């Protein structure tokens, strides 16, 4: 028996808000990254849910793109973070503020 689409969407919203909160409140860059991934996947869930609901493949295809981009982004982001950690011995995002006005 099919689960109504609203449930998927609600779960997606909950995941998105949890991700956003994590990005906003955590100071460890790794955790911020993980929270970002959570937000991506919340969006992916919404795409997939709508694709199933409207019986179209577009949403599922977009999800592949999102996952690809996210993987690339993680690769670049983690490399950046390693470089920053080497230079500053910390990946606290609040300490990366030397460009303030």
Partner 1 sequence: MLSETLANGNWNLAFLVLFFPLAGLLFNLIAGKWLGEKVIGAVASLATGLSFVMALLMGTWLMQGGGEAVTVPLFDWFRAGSLHLGWTLRIDTLSVMMMLVVTGVGTLIHIYAIGYMHDDVRHQGDPGRFQRFFVFLNLFIFAMLILVSADSYLMMFVGWEGVGLCSYLLIGFWYEKGAEGTGNAKAAKKAFIVNRIGDFGLLLALFLLFGAFGTLNFDPIFKNAALASPAIILAATLLMLLGVAGKSAQLPLFVWLPDAMAGPTPVSALIHAATMVTAGVYLIARSAPLYELAPSAQLVATWLGAATALFAATIAIAQNDIKKVLAYSTISQLGFMVAAVGMGAMVAGLFHLVTHAFFKALLFLAAGSVIQGMERGLHEAAHHGGEYDEDVDPQDMRSMGGLRSRMGLTFWVYLIGALALAGIAPLAGFFSKDEILLDALHEQPGVFAVLLTAAFLTAFYMGRQVLLVFFGQPRSEAAAHATESPAVMTVPLVLLAAGSVLAGALNLPVEGLHWLTGWLEHSIAGAESLPFDWLVAVGSTLVALSGLAAAYFFYGKRQPLGRALADPLSSAGCWVYSAFQHKWWVDDIYRKWLVGPLRAMSEFLAATFDQQVIDGVPKLLGESVKDFAIWLSGLQNGLVRSYIMAVLGGLIFILAFLLFIMR
Residue with Cβ nearer partner 1 (22 or 70): 22
In the complex, minimum distance from the CB of residue 53 to partner 1, in angstroms, rounded to a whole number: 21
Among 20, 33, 27, smallest CA distance to 94 is for 27
Whole-number Cα distances in Å, 23 to 48, 49, 87, 89, 98: 24, 24, 23, 21, 20
Residue with Cβ nearer partner 1 (1 or 98): 98
Binding site for partner 1 (CB under 8 A): 20, 23-25, 27, 93-94, 96-101
Residue with Cβ nearer partner 1 (32 or 45): 32
Whole-number Cα distances in Å, 51 to 54, 78, 79: 5, 32, 34
In the complex, minimum distance from the CB of residue 23 to partner 1, in angstroms, rounded to a whole number: 6
């Amino acid at each position: 028996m099919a689960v109504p689409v609203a449930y998927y969407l609600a779960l997606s919203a909950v995941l998105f808000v949890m991700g956003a909160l994590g990005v906003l409140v955590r100071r460890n860059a790794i955790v911020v990254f993980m929270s970002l991934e959570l937000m991506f996947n919340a969006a992916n869930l919404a795409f997939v849910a709508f694709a199933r609901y409207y019986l179209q493949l577009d949403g599922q295809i977009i999800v592949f793109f999102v996952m690809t981009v996210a993987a690339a982004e993680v690769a670049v982001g983690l490399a950046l973070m390693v470089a920053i950690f080497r230079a500053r011995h910390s990946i606290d995002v609040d300490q990366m503020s030397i460009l303030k006005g």
